[in-house]
A and B are shown apart, each in its own frame.
Chain A
């Protein structure tokens, strides 16, 4: 599996590198798709944390950092340099002096401060508040005790000083599209949410709610010669079958594939040439509630991991569009331990562990699941006979996504199956299992382990990158051993693209979210 991942990543990187070796063509139209069901929330990206909205936001807006898919880390975007104090708490950003909003006005430090302060408006509920909270004084603004974030200071028009409340890499927070920098004056107007003005490579032209968004090249974009394309249209296409027809009919340039389509595209000699595969930072798991008596026993949780033949399910049901999970951190995480082995399929060992835990005859539990084909009821149905073999009976509780989210954070479940973000920052991601993290945040299985907490606290405090990684790997190993969840798989995202579309990036945080300025369209595209 790891070998496969290395080859895939190498191929993806080679594709990227290869793409850059070619001379990008100027002009043409990128015809992108937004595949995640619903229409865009609105055109104020500060109000949405959904991947579907990030897809359009990356065309219009820019943040302090951006995600470098090839380096697999956040890099400066609206700032050209940053100086970090010795204690790692004060960041001084020198902003770009060539970043212009789509109304022609130059970006200044005031715009950055206004945009980040807006997130902390206590009367509103901006999802980005959780990321801005790392700045000293941000919480006070959120609580209405201050109007300005004390840790955010304007030094001059193009310099800001950011003092952090805790030692973290702010890049992992401030690359998020929901923290895009707005023009302070225009963004206060009511019309902004329907006619957005940003710093991105494309300028807003038209939005047909529920159908498409169109944007055209911003001539004053700060990266020389970019964007390459004249225009971008982003079509909202939630139905995979409809997307498939449109892609084959050459009406769109990209399509995100599900397991069934993945098999069909791989088997097609032409379509298989245009597949971009990435190990995304999502871990599919079965969360086990320790308040349900059998799951409070580690041996029972381990027995479940031994009793399920995850490899078989990945192969047959997920059609190899996933990588076998060994623990929480995904393959693309810097703290992933490549030597770690997954739980083998061993029903006899599972029976033995159940007997030791006092359940020789097994038990019955309720499993909450959505209808998702890769991590929902179809998977649960495949697991049921495997668990029955060791005496565990399952009752399925079907719910939809919104209910699953509520059930998991309220603890009102015995077991659930879900796909959860496990990156890109391994420290932030592992903090979901820190005993100080409440269930309503992301410690859904109420995990509590003093050794784990200590390793994480040390990793957060240290400046030694090697030691930090070592601690995170050890913490991840504890999760493997303690198994608060059944470690099922890591998502393999697959994007099909037309042969004329070049410069796509293997973005492990979300493949559908691309830096469009790096993409170009060759003359063979039917779109003019």
Chain B
């Protein structure tokens, strides 16, 4: 097991380096600098001398290969650099935003799992029934709803019309503030989980070993518990792992809409203002989270299904 984890971590290294190189190249070729972003509203003219000094201060007047060398050297010492905008270490800036994003991602996935998985099971156990039809129509709708629009709809309904929940903000730990953004973010993974669970369960229900179990006289509840659930769980867990990463990436829209102080809104602001060290750091952290979650899912799958080897 340990060797498997170490191997997976080592396999992740080239991915991280490739992502780091890709982000660096992208932000080296696109026009605009942090200094020019300070005048993007046409409001406050920044004079050429200050802009030149700003570029020098942030090392942006160095040739690309020098900047890349410095960047790689920094990464090698686990230093993500200094934010142009806040003038604080990028690691601190990201750390401030990581917990709110984690809260949002966990809450939305919890919502998706608690509703999506049972719904998929019920739909699969009663194929063609009204509950199957409704849940699958709902799943398709959930997948196709734009998040921004859905978020606004939830705001109008639950904040403005019903007055049950606050429409925006972080709330400093008050869980009421978490509900609307996590539902808006969790609907798509919910829909996908419901569909995946249904398909997986239906597939397993027709498998030889399930037929054999039934012909031996095993009760339906035992068939569901021992055969369907355990076998479907591997597929469900894999989907959850992949969706977790997707949710972190898609949090950008929801965080901006709900004024949620997470990594997504930090990333958008940093791209707009060309705060490149923060962009690079944020993307690396998101990629790292994605890899870690998927590694965890692989380990769990192997524990659940011993046929899966740590290869």
Contact = CB atoms under 8 A, between A and B. Distances in A.
Contact of A127 (B46, B255, B274): B46
A239 B32 contact: no
B96 A209 contact: yes
Contact of B88 (A193, A208, A282): A193
B32 to A, nearest CB: 4
A245 B156 contact: yes
Chain B CB within 10 A, most for which of A44, A238, A282, A402: A402
Interface in A196-240: 208-212, 235-239
Contacts of A282: 42-43
Interface stretch (B1-9, B202-210, B233-241, B264-272): B264-272
A251 B93 CA distance: 28
B257 interface: yes
B167 A249 contact: yes
Interface stretch (B47-55, B69-77, B106-114): B47-55
Contacts of A129: 47, 49-50
B269 A212 contact: no
Contact of B168 (A41, A251, A432): A251
B40 A242 contact: no
Interface in A238-288: 238-239, 241-242, 245-246, 248-249, 251, 282
Nearest to B274: A402
A421 interface: yes
Interface in B19-69: 30-33, 35-51, 53-54, 57
Contacts of A239: 256-257
Interface size grouping (class) on chain A:
35 or more
A150 interface: no
A400 interface: yes
Interface string B66-104: 000000000000000000011110000100110000000
B271 to A, nearest CB: 9
B50 A421 contact: no
A409 interface: yes
A51 B40 CA distance: 11
A245 B159 contact: yes
B60 to A, nearest CB: 11
Contacts of A510: 43
Contacts of B258: 242
Contacts of B166: 251
B160 interface: yes
Nearest to B263: A210
7 interchain residue pairs of minimum CB distance: A401-B40, A125-B54, A402-B32, A210-B261, A49-B44, A211-B261, A440-B48
Interface of B: 30-33, 35-51, 53-54, 57, 85-88, 93, 96-97, 151-152, 155-156, 159-160, 163, 166-170, 172, 255-262, 265-266, 268-269, 272-274
Interface of A: 36-39, 41-42, 44, 47-51, 122-127, 129-130, 142, 193-194, 208-212, 235-239, 241-242, 245-246, 248-249, 251, 282, 399-407, 409, 418-421, 432, 438, 440-442, 510
